[in-house]
Amino acid sequence: MVLEEGYLSGAINGFHNTSTVFKFNGGGTWIQAEYNYLYQYLYAPYAKVIEKNGMAFIEIEGIDASAPVRKA
């Protein structure tokens, strides 16, 4: 199930730690829920937050991995 989707605001540097914030242009904000380091610079990429097995994960266009997130 898709919880939120759209373009992220500004530049992102991939996945890092539990202080990594993902802000959607539509106003939604999600915080990375656990350490998962993967550097990839992208500017305003398209992203989706999906629910799998009761957990939320962010999938970002241009990154071949996902990271667990929680609503801010």
User: Over the stretch 4-47, which tens digit does the pLDDT of each residue have?
Assistant: 999 999 999 999 999 999 999 999 999 999 999 999 999 999 99
Determine the pLDDT at residue 57. 99
Total number of domains constituting the chain: 1
Could you tell me the pTM of the whole model? 0.94
Residues 46-64 have a mean pLDDT of 98
Domain range enclosing 14: 2-71
Determine the pLDDT at residue 31. 99
∠ CA 47-66-12, nearest 5°, is 55
Q: Which residue has the tokens 């610079």?
A: 41
